Structure 1
Amino acid sequence: MSDASVSAVADALDYLCLAQLYLRENPLLARPLTSAHVKWRPAGHWGVCPPVNRMLAALGPVQASVPDGYELRVLHGAGHAGPSALAHAYLTGRLGRVYPDLIQSPAGLLELVSGFPRPETGGEITPMIPGHLHTGGQLGAALAIGQGTVLDAPRRLTVALLGDGECETGTTAASWLASRALRGTGDHGTVLPVVLLNGMRMGGPSVLSTLSRDELTAYFTGLGHQPVYSDGLDIAQLRQAIAEAVADARPLGVPGPSSVLVLTLEKGYGAPAGLAATPAVHKTPLHDPASVPSEFDLLSEWLASYRPAQLLTPGGRPRPHLLPALPRPRPEPGGLSAPRGCIAASTQVADHASGRAFAQVVPDVLRARAAQGPFRVFSPDELASNRIDLTDGQGRTVPWAVEVLSEELCHAWAQGYTETGRHALVATYEAFAPITLSLVQQQLKHRSARRHAGLAPLPSLVYLLTSLGWHNTFTHQNPSLATALLAGGDPSVHVLTPADPARAAAALTFALRKLDRCTLVIADKHATVQHPLETLDEELRHGMAIWPHLSAPGPEEPDLILASAGDLPAEVLTTLARRLRDDRRELRLRYVHIHDLTALAEEDTRSLALGPAAFTHHFGTTAPLVLATSGHPADIHALFGRRHPGPRLTVLGYRDPGRPVSQTHLRQLCGLDDTSLWHLATTLIDASKEIPAP
């Protein structure tokens, strides 16, 4: 493999990036460039492209030589490298296989260049560009996501390209040491971090760039990594550095220092004199070359310096001397088939769990899932606290469960694991889960783009939120993750609020078997009250059910409707229902349990949203309705939307007390103590009887 081939690929990538940013015609400079060939409003990012392009070019021969059964994946931390990803996918032919109008042809090349950023692919790295399992720009998570991709995959090498600005984030900082938490957890693949130390963030010098070479070496060595350096200017030296770094990289969890490649090519390398290594190159360093003659002259000279006709044929294909440095086509990984019988399997689990406590049934569900194939539990040092005992006979945590005191790492590991087709669960305190909100939302955007691209579904993102605020201190009360995700409106989000431990076991089983969802299972580790399971099938299938053992028979409008969402609400409202039935035998009562909050949503906005008839069947038309949730009352009001029951609805749920209070006082403040509920219910019943019939 010649260095000349690698150098030519790097030049071709640089040229295609620049052409995407600036040209709307004449993509190979086959005729003299004029201002009419230049875009009026250049858009995109140049600065990160040159170092990324050198890495992609130098890794091409490595990818081409990977034996069958082994895999090398490149994971981009910088979403701004979209032009690089598109250019590389074009040169390898992968882009044209997905988008026929972008095949290697004169028309395809013109569309690639003139159409950037096209709506179908965007201008940044997303799954719309084939081969990308991570949406770049999810700042700080790339290294940890890369680690998640190689767990239980000993034949996989993931090369994670990290911006030096990204290295300033807490998530990246935690990731360097994270492999130590993976010791003894199985056979894993290898991650090679590549720090693109180009010296600049968006608006100024990066922190890493202020360190001397000796200080950088001391920093990485202290983190357990052996740095290998390259400035990227000499392709032969860069390839040697990559070979050395790959050889010295250790599989995750293996003790000893593992390598990190530090590429010091300046930001925006190749830009006109005075612009490279300045904030000007972050985006398009020449702002208006179509109108400003001096900028046009600089652009014309810059484009011509790559000699594009020597890199690409008039037919838009890479010339033969580039081909040895391009990875050979490999089949795209197949998707997963949705398992059948989710509801039957879940109800069977619930039947077995009936009458047992959370601490007994939840570990059983997770152990059963682990016995079925690749599966991981990630928890921020809270399994024991959350009463999830996943230890073996010697008291050691099972290898497939990993604890590390970082919510972000747990999420990112689970993200990398599920994005490569395996199932995972994040188990954490409800109050601490919002730390990962941005990461969850970015993954939801990534999954949405995957669906839009027609890619096969993947295992769901599943969170078990327990240690709820109702039994915790003031600082440990925050149900906001569900609030934020519901507000986002993503139809793949489901918030399960099981009424008891048996239903929690069923909900977990169900969530872990479904594909392409984001499911929060909210279940308190203290829950003990068991309710009849006769309606569980309906709860799983439709998101809610009327509980007949507490409801008057028949379709007539009741005098009062009680609805619970969650185990504590089910405990207090069923106690109220029994007291009402005993004290007011003439009362027509209807009791509804909401197993999935999204079933409350406006029709056609979510998969389980009730139609008009079903909505009326559950919630009536005139009866007072008291709905208790373990989360924020605002979640319920927002979900009801335009079909909100109006003043007949009273929603009770968590309200921040503003200061530390006892658990008993918290229930009183939120109206969920027995006295407050009795007063509310009887007042509503008596008031409704005083209203004359229409």
Structure 2
Amino acid sequence: MTTTEHPAPASADRTDLRLLDAWWRAANYLAVGQIYLMDNPLLREPLAPEHVKPRLLGHWGTTPGLTFLWAHLNRVIVRDDLHVLYVTGPGHGGPAVVATAWLEGTYSERYSRVSQDADGMKELFRQFSFPGGIPSHAAPETPGSIHEGGELGYALAHAYGAAFDNPDLLVACVIGDGEAETGPLAASWQGNKFLHPVHDGTVLPILHLNGYKIANATVTARITREELIAQLEGHGHRLYVVEGGFDGEDPMAVHERMAATMDEIVAEIARIRTRAAEQLAAEGRVDRPRWPALILHTPKGWTGPREVDGLPVEGTWRAHQVPLAGTRDNPEHRAQLEAWLRSYRPEELFDDDGAPRPELAALTPSGDARMSAIPHANGGVLLRDLKLPDFTQHAVDVPRPGATQASATGTLGAWLADVVRANPTTFRIVGPDETASNRLQAVFEATDRQFVGEILPTDEHTAQHGRVLEVLSEHLCQGWLEGYVLTGRHGLFNCYEAFIHIVDSMFNQHAKWLEASRHIPWRRPIASLNYLLSSHVWRQDHNGFSHQDPGFIDHVLNKKAEVVRVYLPPDANTLLSTMDHCLRTRDYVNVVVAGKNPGPQWLSVDEAIAHCARGIGIWDWASTDGGAEPDVVLGCAGDVPTIETLAAAALLREHLPQLKVRVVNVVDLLRLQDAREHPHGLADREFDALFTTDKPVVFAHHGYPSLIHQLTYRRTNHSNIHVRGYKEEGTTTTPFDMVMRNDLDRFHLVADVIDRVPGLAVKHAALRQHMLDERLRCRRHAYTYGVDAPDVADWVWPG
């Protein structure tokens, strides 16, 4: 069904809508004031240059549409006692959401200096996009927001993430028509195939067509209405359309159409949910509903200046940011700004003290029902600890180092199944069709993949209600999990290591959100966003070069130390301990990299717990320094680098028994950093005790070598640290040839030791040559037989 016009319903008579229009005018007045004014907030005197900010920053064009929708949602919230979370896709419309939060009283509750009076209004205006103030976008500082203005394209994914497991929540997601052009948003329309109409909440997508981006028309505004409707109906929605405000149309007519349409949408959502509950009770299943979606078509910069300097503004790209750019120095622009502000008739909206008039305040929902105060937008208020089962019950038995073979992620999967069972409504696993590929398939003993589309008898572990969300879009996985944790729940994102880069920008924005929110007193801590990266660079030998990239951890470590953590557990028991820790943390992004293939297990569960608690430590059983100062330190971080380092240590023990070798394994990569730069960093004396102040260090790293140098550049012994890691040499080959191509193999590590320990290069040149010959032998074997030489493939620790 499409609705372009509707009679006003009895519940929204013209008197009510005139009050609603006044509320909307008040919000628009406050929004314009934020962009332009630093004094004279109620226009009690003629506008003068000193009343205008010297730098005008902000976005007007989308703002009146955002406030219009907010006003109409408030009407149905009050009438029907709804719980609505407002997700602002055009987040650069920060003036709108800040204005509505102040109008609802929430802003003054959060920031007492911004009171609901003339002085508070002045502060509200002055602080906006001003040094020492608040950003011009919707941001963590904005009450009611879970979506930052720079996150273009992610709004609808966040909305679905917020709706999962929140059956009483309606998420109204405003999508800008510029945002609608992005890849993540295009994929996000598929979210309705995963949303359960009984167990989950409701998402109402609202595509706000105002025609333009910054300086160009939008695609969705320039295709035919029929084509756009067909597109969204094809995504499974029932479409409603409201348009108006063009050619000077009376806003009251648009309010009438919008009120009628919103009533029908709310009623349709209620009907869908009632029918679904009845069907689920009777049949144990539900039909996938056609959820409502709304298209709102209004002019860009609606109610703003129609024309400036002889050029059209309202309804064009010129309204996008600041329509009147010269108001401080240009008297004509200043007069036009004053006329614009007075067109909202502020004397009708605010009393003598500058507070909203009582009849406007009466239109605002109360308490937590206000969209600016809803607890879901401050998820830490709702957050409850996970019930985490004892992971030691799933530990691998390791009677001695290297005696047991196991898959680290396979072992973890069995514990995650218990986590799912213990937390049936507050924990989800997301991933791009890789849960089983990453060997976490044991979780399907406890739950299924959730999918509300057609399910065939040949589908495995797929049901209409489950705890695993799989969709072949890393953007959706990231957005869903962000929305889920921001609204007070917990989760895990598992992904192939090389393809997690797809969400680099999304990670950036979430990390920035955490950085900012940690310093906002009323923002409560939320669950950490946890990544498990498997199918990693050293075991993508079969897929080849395109699947070989360990650089996400480098990207992560560019963020503030207070919010990022990176872990490289070397075996299954350390992975269990690490993940148990990560799921208990708050306000972090935790990145855990672990292999899925069977491999040697090094530590018993008790040893693993102690090692993970330290984050770094000497493995005495692999070392030959006997507690004395070593001749060389072999450092390692990551499962495959650990295997190669231990194999190198065994070769050195065999061929150079007099050499004092110390093996240091790193689980928590940030332990390498200076304690002054990261809270997990080692003090210099602790670092020096492990790595010495003057002895050679040969470090085998999971990722790019430069990262280790970046972390250790301030250390006393940095000039002696030599790092081996991935150096962008990859192809389809064997596992050992892969490490040889990057000089991370055991033979090259032994050669590195010979090259760097004083006195060995000349004396043991023959041994060095033998190591290089061994590399040639292993490569010939791989190229001849297609598999690694048995002595390498089946190597075990000789201890």
TM-score by length of 1: 0.94
Bigger mean CA offset, 642-651 vs 416-425? 642-651
Q: For residue 179 of structure 1, what is the aligned residue in structure 2?
A: 192
1:84 aligned partner, one-letter code? A
Distance 2:439 2:413 in 1: 9
Specify the SS of the correspondent of 2:728.
coil
Bigger mean CA offset, 193-202 vs 585-594? 585-594
Specify the SS of the correspondent of 1:100.
coil
Bigger mean CA offset, 81-90 vs 330-339? 330-339
Shift of 1:554: 6.2
Provide the alpha-carbon RMSD of the alignment. 2.5
Distance 2:391 2:725 in 1: 28
Q: For residue 619 of structure 1, what is the aligned residue in structure 2?
A: 691
The answer to whether 1:638 aligns with 2:706 is no
2:101 aligned partner, one-letter code? A
Which of 28, 31, 36 is the aligned partner of 1:14? 28
Distance 1:392 1:130 in 2: 41
Specify the SS of the correspondent of 2:492.
strand
Q: CA distance change for structure 1 residues 324 and 231 in 2, over 3 Å: closer, same or farther?
A: farther
Which of 267, 279, 304 is the aligned partner of 1:271? 304
The answer to whether 1:411 aligns with 2:478 is yes
1:96 aligned partner, one-letter code? S
Q: For residue 580 of structure 1, what is the aligned residue in structure 2?
A: 652
Tell whether the 8 Å contact from 2:383 to 2:527 is kept in structure 1 after alignment. no
For each residue in 1:75-123, what CA deviation from the matched residue of structure 2 results, as whole angstroms up to 9, or x when unmatched? 1111211111111111111111111110112211111122322434322
Q: CA distance change for structure 1 residues 121 and 566 in 2, over 3 Å: closer, same or farther?
A: same
Specify the SS of the correspondent of 2:444.
coil
Q: For residue 539 of structure 2, what is the aligned residue in structure 1?
A: 471
Q: For residue 556 of structure 1, what is the aligned residue in structure 2?
A: 628
Specify the SS of the correspondent of 1:506.
helix
Q: For residue 486 of structure 1, what is the aligned residue in structure 2?
A: 557
Q: For residue 238 of structure 1, what is the aligned residue in structure 2?
A: 258
Q: CA distance change for structure 1 residues 518 and 100 in 2, over 3 Å: closer, same or farther?
A: same
1:196 aligned partner, one-letter code? H
Q: CA distance change for structure 1 residues 465 and 123 in 2, over 3 Å: closer, same or farther?
A: same
Which of 553, 568, 580 is the aligned partner of 2:640? 568
Tell whether the 8 Å contact from 1:74 to 1:158 is kept in structure 2 after alignment. yes
2:546 aligned partner, one-letter code? T
Which of 44, 47, 65 is the aligned partner of 1:33? 47
Distance 1:341 1:227 in 2: 42
Tell whether the 8 Å contact from 2:21 to 2:255 is kept in structure 1 after alignment. yes
1:45 aligned partner, one-letter code? H
The answer to whether 1:680 aligns with 2:747 is no
Distance 2:663 2:184 in 1: 45
Bigger mean CA offset, 570-579 vs 251-260? 251-260
Bigger mean CA offset, 34-43 vs 129-138? 34-43
The answer to whether 1:108 aligns with 2:120 is yes
Which of 332, 344, 353 is the aligned partner of 1:306? 344
Specify the SS of the correspondent of 2:712.
helix
2:525 aligned partner, one-letter code? P
Specify the SS of the correspondent of 2:502.
helix
Shift of 1:10: 0.6
1:294 aligned partner, one-letter code? E
Question: Percent identity, aligned pairs only?
Answer: 32
Q: For residue 139 of structure 2, what is the aligned residue in structure 1?
A: 126
Q: For residue 524 of structure 1, what is the aligned residue in structure 2?
A: 595
Output aligned runs, 1:410-489, within 5 Å.
410-454=477-521, 455-472=523-540, 473-489=544-560
Which of 92, 100, 114 is the aligned partner of 1:80? 92
Q: CA distance change for structure 1 residues 675 and 305 in 2, over 3 Å: closer, same or farther?
A: same
Specify the SS of the correspondent of 1:79.
coil
Tell whether the 8 Å contact from 1:565 to 1:597 is kept in structure 2 after alignment. yes
Shift of 1:559: 0.7
Shift of 1:339: 5.7
Shift of 1:674: 2.8
Distance 2:23 2:631 in 1: 75
Shift of 1:531: 0.4
Shift of 1:126: 0.8
Tell whether the 8 Å contact from 1:226 to 1:258 is kept in structure 2 after alignment. yes
Distance 2:214 2:118 in 1: 35
Q: CA distance change for structure 1 residues 332 and 300 in 2, over 3 Å: closer, same or farther?
A: closer
For each residue in 1:222-251, what CA deviation from the matched residue of structure 2 results, as whole angstroms up to 9, or x when unmatched? 111122111254212112222222333457
Q: For residue 381 of structure 2, what is the aligned residue in structure 1?
A: 335
Shift of 1:582: 3.4
TM-score by length of 2: 0.82
Shift of 1:658: 6.3
Q: CA distance change for structure 1 residues 611 and 346 in 2, over 3 Å: closer, same or farther?
A: farther
Q: How many residues align?
A: 687
Tell whether the 8 Å contact from 2:192 to 2:236 is kept in structure 1 after alignment. no
Distance 1:22 1:637 in 2: 48
Which of 58, 66, 69 is the aligned partner of 1:44? 58
Tell whether the 8 Å contact from 1:353 to 1:502 is kept in structure 2 after alignment. no
Distance 2:288 2:707 in 1: 47
For each residue in 1:411-453, what CA deviation from the matched residue of structure 2 results, as whole angstroms up to 9, or x when unmatched? 1010011111111111110011000010011011111111111
Which of 542, 548, 554 is the aligned partner of 2:614? 542
Which of 137, 150, 164 is the aligned partner of 2:177? 164
> Bigger radius of gyration, 1 or 2?
2
Specify the SS of the correspondent of 2:173.
strand
The answer to whether 1:285 aligns with 2:323 is yes
Distance 1:578 1:64 in 2: 73
The answer to whether 1:217 aligns with 2:289 is no
2:528 aligned partner, one-letter code? S
